[in-house]
Amino acid sequence: MVSRVIPVDPFDLVIFGATGDLAQRKILPGLFRRHVAGQMPTDARVIGAARSDLSSAEFRAMARETIAAHVDPALQDAALLEDFLSRLDYVALDVQAGTGWEALRSLVRPDVVQAFYFSVAPVLFGDLAEGLQAQGIAGPGARIVVEKPFGRDLASAQALNATLAAHFEESQIYRIDHYLGKETVQNLMAVRFANILFEPLWNAQYIDHVQITVAETVGVGGRGAYYDRSGALRDMVQNHMMQLLCLIAMEPPWHFDPDAVRDEKLKVIRALQPVGRGDIVRGQYLAGGGGPGYLEDAGNPSSDTESYIALRVHVANWRWKGTPFYLRTGKRLRARTSEIAITFKEPPHSIFDDARGWRENVLVIRLQPNEGINLKVMIKEPGPGGMRLVQVPLDMSFATALGAEGADMPDAYERLIMDVIRGNQTLFMRGDEVEAAWAWTDPIIAGWQARGDRPQPYDAGSSGPEDALMLMHRDGRRWREIRE
């Protein structure tokens, strides 16, 4: 099964922050993979911009190194690499000092798709947006790509939206959430809306609860100071996990169209009930397994920022009344895994005498590792021992099901960048969605601050704080095991 790679229109992609971590680890390697896949048209150009005083030749040498380090050796064809590098240019530009704009203007072509990737600290977004217009670089169809974090509360997100809106139309603004670029996340929509099987059952009558888990084994390490100003709620829940929740909970959009999809997601966010104090558990990892604890990693012995959070969330609408969504995410946990598990209710009546083997149907959507979908169903245990029930997985690992194409799926960033060039905003967050998500998040944080709540310690390499288990136990449910 081979997916079609359709070359995009000729483009100039300017990466502001081209010498930084994201550009080097994700954006440049991702673009090279798209080039190898044949998706970059012959006259596409990529222009790096940052303060560092580099020539284009030095930037290409940098790109060569980062591609060698971050792209599968099997894809590193020498001729394709040279061809890719020949499309790269570099401009030394300091957004704050206002230098370098002219050099950039001389490189950006007015008659191709123009995309400007803001891979810099958010404080620079306003100056960049203004500079692109004031310097006459961005044409009417230009697109800007903005990275997370998009604000740190409702007020800052509104201010950022207003700043960008002063220079660009909403249809030109691509707020990236790389979770939305993951193959499985899009497959979630395909599973729901391209099959008749699930949608009739996709409501509180048949779904007992939903668990969304994003677990990491790493601590906050080198970015402790940055993380300490954020925490798991701001860093993971307000954006990535909220987006996953929306895709599960939303009504079918009338069409797979950017605003139709985003309208439905927005309705979900607006329907989220305020979260009570008893519905949240926060934690901080302790030292262990040869690593320091959170407080040491953060360089702040009195920090009350959470490296773990679990929440019980309710979507207050007809479809979901009575079905809780349990969300948890944390650092230094037992395994690195991201999954959505949808647990169905029991059948209304069992015709089998031996119901001991009975387990709920669970649909598991794995984001990492090994992207795929797994449906746990009941069958008869094989053999002559009477009608005994056993649960088995109907497992579809994309790598297995789709062969080489499934194993070599585009990384979320490369897929999303190609969507920007195509002008498709479906997998990007709209300004009102981001604001609605902050409007739900702000009171939670205000509550912690007003009460002086502190996160509970948890062991490094564990499943999180004890109280998180209780969050489920008191509802008569259990978290799924965190494992790869």
Ligand X SMILES: NC(=O)c1ccc[n+]([C@@H]2O[C@H](COP(=O)([O-])OP(=O)(O)OC[C@H]3O[C@@H](n4cnc5c(N)ncnc54)[C@H](OP(=O)(O)O)[C@@H]3O)[C@@H](O)[C@H]2O)c1
Q: Which residues are catalytic?
A: 240
Q: Does 208 bind ligand X (CB under 6 A)?
A: no
Selected range binding ligand X among 10-18, 83-91, 212-220, 324-332, rule: CB under 6 A: 10-18
Are the C-beta atoms of 22 and 121 separated by less than 8 Å?
Answer: no
Selected range binding ligand X among 68-76, 142-150, 166-174, 470-478, rule: CB under 6 A: 142-150
Element (H, E) at 363: strand 362-368
Q: Which is nearer to ligand X, 223 or 277 (CB)?
A: 223
Residue 226 φ/ψ region, left for φ over 0, alpha for ψ in the -120 to 50 degree band, beta for the rest: alpha
Residue 133 φ/ψ region, left for φ over 0, alpha for ψ in the -120 to 50 degree band, beta for the rest: alpha
Residue 474, class by beta-carbon neighbours within 10 Å (0-12 exposed, 13-18 middle, 19+ buried)? exposed
CA dihedral 105, 111, 117, 122 (to 10 degrees): 60
Q: Which is nearer to ligand X, 215 or 341 (CB)?
A: 215
Residues 6+ apart with CB under 8 A from 177: 148, 239, 240, 243, 427, 428, 429
* 50, 112, 215, 275: which one binds ligand X (CB under 6 A): 50
Q: Min. distance of Cβ 20 from ligand X in angstroms?
A: 2
Q: Which two tokens stand for residue 394?
A: 């109907």
Q: Which is nearer to ligand X, 250 or 429 (CB)?
A: 429
Q: Which two tokens stand for residue 1?
A: 């099964």
Q: Does 407 bind ligand X (CB under 6 A)?
A: no
Q: Does 51 bind ligand X (CB under 6 A)?
A: yes
Q: Min. distance of Cβ 328 from ligand X in angstroms?
A: 21
DSSP string, 395-412: EEEHHHHTHHHHHTPPPH
Q: Min. distance of Cβ 122 from ligand X in angstroms?
A: 5
DSSP string, 110-135: TTSEEEEEE-S-GGGHHHHHHHHHHT
Measure the N-to-C terminal CA separation of the chain; round to a whole number of Å: 27
| Beta strand pairing call for 143-146 and 113-118 | parallel
Say how far apart CA 106 and CA 85 lie, in whole Å: 20
Element (H, E) at 90: strand 88-92
Q: Min. distance of Cβ 95 from ligand X in angstroms?
A: 4
Q: Which is nearer to ligand X, 160 or 418 (CB)?
A: 160
Q: Which is nearer to ligand X, 93 or 420 (CB)?
A: 93
Interacting residues with ligand X between 77 and 136 (CB under 6 A): 93-96, 119-122, 124
Q: Min. distance of Cβ 104 from ligand X in angstroms?
A: 11
Residues 6+ apart with CB under 8 A from 317: 267, 271
Selected range binding ligand X among 45-53, 161-169, 364-372, 386-394, rule: CB under 6 A: 45-53
* 37, 41, 52, 453: which one binds ligand X (CB under 6 A): 52
R_g over Cα of the chain:
24
Q: Min. distance of Cβ 53 from ligand X in angstroms?
A: 8
Q: Min. distance of Cβ 94 from ligand X in angstroms?
A: 5
Interacting residues with ligand X between 262 and 301 (CB under 6 A): none
Q: Which is nearer to ligand X, 94 or 296 (CB)?
A: 94
* 89, 147, 411, 435: which one binds ligand X (CB under 6 A): 147
Say how far apart CA 180 and CA 240 lie, in whole Å: 8
Q: Which is nearer to ligand X, 90 or 458 (CB)?
A: 90
Are the C-beta atoms of 211 and 241 separated by less than 8 Å?
Answer: no
User: What are the φ/ψ torsions at residue 482 (nearest 5 degrees)?
Assistant: -85, 110
Interacting residues with ligand X between 14 and 33 (CB under 6 A): 16-23
Selected range binding ligand X among 48-56, 313-321, 390-398, 439-447, rule: CB under 6 A: 48-56
In 323-455, alpha helices (H): 398-401, 403-407, 412-422, 431-451
Instruction: Find the residue with minimal CB distance to ligand X.
Output: 20
Q: Which is nearer to ligand X, 62 or 268 (CB)?
A: 62
Q: Which is nearer to ligand X, 86 or 99 (CB)?
A: 99
Q: Min. distance of Cβ 66 from ligand X in angstroms?
A: 12
Total residues interacting with ligand X, rule: CB under 6 A: 23
Which residues sit at the interface with ligand X, rule CB under 6 A?
Answer: 16-23, 50-52, 93-96, 119-122, 124, 147-149
